[in-house]
């Protein structure tokens, strides 16, 4: 399929794919990139393809919009099922793939950025990649700083036939981190032809949206510790540990504001809220789409250590305690361990039962930690700035290559 000829006066179009079967991480990363691009490059529009069931709860800047494909959810056995529709998974995936390809065909992007999954969820982006490749559209794979331990990543990528896609389809691989922090492909045998496509951008700097404000009776008037479980689907251990620390009666200097997360199981939410009602120094909210405001106001942060939370801790220069999950992936543990080695944060990890006094002591000492800004890592938060530049370079290169083709067509 040949590339359609749009007038360059129509502006630049960026298409971003985020599979979002569960959680908030992929969506929030793509949203941050989209907002940075439209803020920096005039006449640029971004369309996000997402399966997140709560994408509509977020604010988007002008010239950023989204198409939501039918949602799926991952079961405990690793299989997927439709989130809302009474369709089997094969029908759901076929519907998603069709919507993705048709959207890409009509939107006709100048560049296509795929988040984390090289071929999309269960290969749903494969046909779209082939179609856009035939048009000469630059194809970019965006990877977070840490993927998983090599023992799991290598067989996963072999099963999904990732290497041929990286070699034959993608123009560049952008790693949203720094090589001196971590190589996300550690332990993976990468051919030189693929390794040369890797570009480290630095981490994504988050800012407080100027036009928004957080007004809630749950936000303490005095300095507080922000406790966030991200999406909340697997954050019950973290929340329970923090609550048991306050329930010990130890004098913790600052109250806690807990954001439970929109995907936390209802039974867990209700149980935690009942306990919080009995604690004068703890308040809670189920979900905030403006977490940046809370992060900015907090004196410190307790979190699980997903990519976006780590970026926010760096961006708002907050002392933090990270309690990483270790299943089904070691991603958060690897990130937190490396960050602690560098002095950027503190990590708490437990083998069996979390010790309430250990958490209480860590909360008492939280504001005595060094700030992330005291550790010098050049280019640490240059990610969005570098992505803006990379998008501009790729589109300029693509359009230069089109000119000879246009001359041939007109002669």
- More confident position, 298 or 6: 298
Return the percentage of the chain with pLDDT > 70, whole number: 91
Predicted confidence (pLDDT) at residue 217 exceeds the cutoff of 50: no
390-403: pLDDT as tens digits: 999 999 999 888 76
Q: What is the pLDDT of residue 352?
A: 77
Of the candidates 156, 146, 168, 85, the one whose C-alpha atom is nearest the C-alpha of residue 122 is 156
Q: Is 297 exposed, middle or buried (0-12, 13-18, 19+ CB in 10 A)?
A: middle
Predicted confidence (pLDDT) at residue 74 exceeds the cutoff of 70: yes
> What domains sit in the chain, N to C, each tagged with a CATH number?
8-205+381-410 (3.40.50.2000), 225-374 (3.40.50.2000)
Retrieve residue 295's tokens. Answer: 């992060």
261-313: pLDDT as tens digits: 988 999 999 999 999 999 999 999 998 888 898 999 999 999 999 999 999 99
Q: What is the pLDDT of residue 8?
A: 60
Of the candidates 267, 240, 194, 213, the one whose C-alpha atom is nearest the C-alpha of residue 355 is 240
Q: What is the pLDDT of residue 230?
A: 86
Confidence of residue 6 (pLDDT cuts 50, 70, 90): low
Q: What is the pLDDT of residue 287?
A: 87
Task: Kindly state the average pLDDT of the residues 143-149.
Answer: 95
- For the chain, give the mean pLDDT: 91
Predicted confidence (pLDDT) at residue 7 exceeds the cutoff of 80: no
Alpha-carbon gap, residue 166 to 227, rounded angstroms: 38
Residues 6+ away with beta carbon under 8 Å from 248: 356, 357, 360
359-368: pLDDT as tens digits: 999 999 999 9
Confidence of residue 77 (pLDDT cuts 50, 70, 90): low
Confidence of residue 5 (pLDDT cuts 50, 70, 90): low
Asked if 238 and 260 count as a contact pair (C-beta separation under 8 A), the reply is: no
| Sheet of 282-285, strand order | 282-285, 256-259, 225-228, 300-303, 320-322, 346-347
Q: What is the pLDDT of residue 78?
A: 63
Q: Can you spell out the DSSP letters for 264-307?
A: S-HHHHHHHHHHHHT-TTEEEES--TTHHHHHHH-SEEEE---H
Residues 6+ away with beta carbon under 8 Å from 141: 113, 114, 116, 118, 166, 170, 172, 173, 174
Helix, strand and coil content of the chain, in percent to the nearest 5, comes to: 40, 15, 45
Asked if 286 and 269 count as a contact pair (C-beta separation under 8 A), the reply is: yes
Predicted confidence (pLDDT) at residue 320 exceeds the cutoff of 60: yes
Predicted confidence (pLDDT) at residue 318 exceeds the cutoff of 80: yes
Predicted confidence (pLDDT) at residue 411 exceeds the cutoff of 60: no
Retrieve residue 302's tokens. Answer: 């307790």
Confidence of residue 258 (pLDDT cuts 50, 70, 90): very high
């Amino acid at each position: 399929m040949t590339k359609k000829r749009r007038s360059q006066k129509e502006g630049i179009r960026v298409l971003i794919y985020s599979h979002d079967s569960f959680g908030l991480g992929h969506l929030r990363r793509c949203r941050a990139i989209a907002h940075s691009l439209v803020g920096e490059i005039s006449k640029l529009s971004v369309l996000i393809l997402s399966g997140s069931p709560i994408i509509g709860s977020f604010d988007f800047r002008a010239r950023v919009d989204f198409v939501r494909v039918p949602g799926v959810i991952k079961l405990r056995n690793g299989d997927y099922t439709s989130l809302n529709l009474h369709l089997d998974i094969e029908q759901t995936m076929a519907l998603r793939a069709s919507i993705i390809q048709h959207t890409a065909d009509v939107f006709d992007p100048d560049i296509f950025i795929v988040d984390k999954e090289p071929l999309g969820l269960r290969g749903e982006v494969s046909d779209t990649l082939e179609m856009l490749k035939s048009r000469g559209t630059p194809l970019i794979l965006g990877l977070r700083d840490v993927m998983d331990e090599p023992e799991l990543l290598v067989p996963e990528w072999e099963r999904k036939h990732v290497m041929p896609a990286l070699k034959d389809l993608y123009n560049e691989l952008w790693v949203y981190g720094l090589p001196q922090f971590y190589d996300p492909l550690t332990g993976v045998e990468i051919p030189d032809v693929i390794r040369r496509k890797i570009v480290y951008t630095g981490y994504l700097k988050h800012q407080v949206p100027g036009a928004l404000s957080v007004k809630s009776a749950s936000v303490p008037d005095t300095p507080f510790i922000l406790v966030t479980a991200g999406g909340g689907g697997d954050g019950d251990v973290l929340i329970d540990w923090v609550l048991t620390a306050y329930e010990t009666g130890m004098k913790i200097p600052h109250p806690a504001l807990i954001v439970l997360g929109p995907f936390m199981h209802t039974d867990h939410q209700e149980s935690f809220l009942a306990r919080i009602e009995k604690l004068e120094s703890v308040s809670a909210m189920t979900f905030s789409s403006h977490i940046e405001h809370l992060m900015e106001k907090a004196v410190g942060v307790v979190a699980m250590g997903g990519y976006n939370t780590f970026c926010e801790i760096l961006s708002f220069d907050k002392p933090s305690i990270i309690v990483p999950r270790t299943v089904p992936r070691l991603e958060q543990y690897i990130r937190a361990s490396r960050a602690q080695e560098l002095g950027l944060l503190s990590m708490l990890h437990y083998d069996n039962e979390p010790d309430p006094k250990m958490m209480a002591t860590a909360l008492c000492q939280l504001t005595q930690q060094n700030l992330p800004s005291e550790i010098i890592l050049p280019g640490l938060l240059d990610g969005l700035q570098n992505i803006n530049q990379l998008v501009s370079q790729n589109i300029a290169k693509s359009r230069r290559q089109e000119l000879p083709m246009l001359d041939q067509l007109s002669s």
